[in-house]
Amino acid sequence: MDRDTALRLHEAMLLTRLTEERLVKLFRQGQTLGSVYRSLGQEATACATAMALGPDDVIAPMIRNLGSMFVRGATPLEIFLQYLGRATGPTGGREHNNHFGSVERGILAPTSMLGALIPVMAGVALSFRQKGEARVAMTWIGDGGSSTGAFYEGLNFAVVQRLPLIVVGESNGYAFSTPPDRQMAGRMSARSQGAFTLTVDGNEAAEVHAASIQARQHCLEGKGPVFLVCETFRRSGHAEHDDQRYVDPQLLAHWAAKDPLPRFETWMAHRGWHPDPDLSSRMEANLLAAAEQALAAPWPEPADLKAGTFSR
Ligand SMILES: Cc1ncc(C[n+]2csc(CCOP(=O)(O)OP(=O)(O)O)c2C)c(N)n1
Ligand SMILES: [Mg+2]
């Protein structure tokens, strides 16, 4: 990774952390329409994977992959407008979290149905191959989501067809309040389906990035999909309405010590690369201004309820 990429990756991870912190404040003030699903401690698995893609590749993020949307050009203002349900937000108040796409940025709208994006993205990858385009499709799946039928069906199809699909497995210790050993027989893997599997330390951004570059190359060489497992930990509740009392505090402390942001800053410092020392405070000021702008934005008009929807 070169210096410029490292600085951009660090910026995306920090922006994700601070945007979600601002969203938590808005939630506690009763301003967000629904709960806030954080990626605290998992920013590297969302940002460093997306950072390895080319501009024509397509992503389908899940709820904890806000960082990948920032990498593709989404803005905090859009995110705030969306969570606050305002008329000028990406879905005009029809959704309340990161469930919106952007064709220009190569982002397919996330969906709540765990596993459902795997066959959809296998289809996107199939279209790339049929058109002879050197592009890859990327999506993410949690340990819980990887137990769904859709995950197996979609990945199996991609393996058989040798499709350019990267599925990032987020092995983060919990599916809501259920630890993996209560709902899956082994560790996250797609080896039994014949998919090339890579497993990395999901909190080491440089390692995640290098593996993602390797995965993309594997896809572009026509060798089929890659399941890239990132070992990480969900350091917040499932969402802000979940106080995570079922998680051992020692486990949380263990993973806090492996926070991806300071680790990546150390990795950069070893190369003599240093982020702007004012970056964090500048970002916080911009985020506060964006949140205030979103709070002042208009609510949707009831008469516009059906606009942009399929209705008869
Ligand atoms: C098919 C399906 N089953 C159940 C749910 C309800 N649900 C939403 S998130 C979640 C836990 C997901 O855990 P995991 O896949 O490990 O992702 P994480 O939240 O840890 O990122 C559940 C059970 C759903 N959205 N879709
Ligand atoms: Mg999980």
The enclosing domain of 9 has a CATH number of 3.40.50.970
| Residue 298 belongs to some domain of the structure | no
Predicted local confidence at residue 305, as pLDDT: 83
Residue 110 is predicted with a pLDDT of: 84
276 alpha-carbon distance from chain centroid: 25
- In the predicted model, residues of the chain with pLDDT beneath 50 are none
8 A C-beta contact, residue 51 and residue 209: yes
16, 27, 40, 130, 230 from 202: Cα distances, Å: 16, 28, 12, 32, 4
| 302 within some domain | no
Quick check: is 312 in a domain?
no
Dist. CA 193 → ligand 1 center (Å): 22
Using the structure block, give the residue that is written with the tokens 């203002």.
Answer: 77
Give the number of domains in the chain: 1
User: What is the model's pLDDT at position 160?
Assistant: 96
Task: Show Cβ contacts of residue 229 under 8 Å, excluding neighbours closer than 6 positions.
Answer: 169, 171, 187, 188, 189, 197, 198, 199, 200
pLDDT tens-digit readout, 209-264? 999 999 999 999 999 999 999 999 999 999 999 999 999 999 999 999 999 999 99
Atom of ligand 1 nearest to the CA of 238: 19
Residue 87 lies in a domain: yes
150 CA: nearest ligand 1 atom:
1
pLDDT at res. 309 = 80
Residue 137 in domain: yes
Decide if 301 is inside a domain.
Answer: no
Q: For residue 242, what pLDDT is reported?
A: 95
Q: Is residue 310 part of a domain?
A: no
Question: Residue 309: inside a domain, yes or no?
Answer: no
Tell me the CA–centroid distance for residue 245 and ligand 1, in Å.
18
Structure confidence at residue 98 (pLDDT): 86
pLDDT of residue 56: 98
For a pocket test of ligand 1, which of 176, 187, 246 has the largest count of ligand atoms closer than 8 A to its C-beta?
176
Q: Which domain holds residue 108?
A: 3-288
pLDDT of 116 reads 96
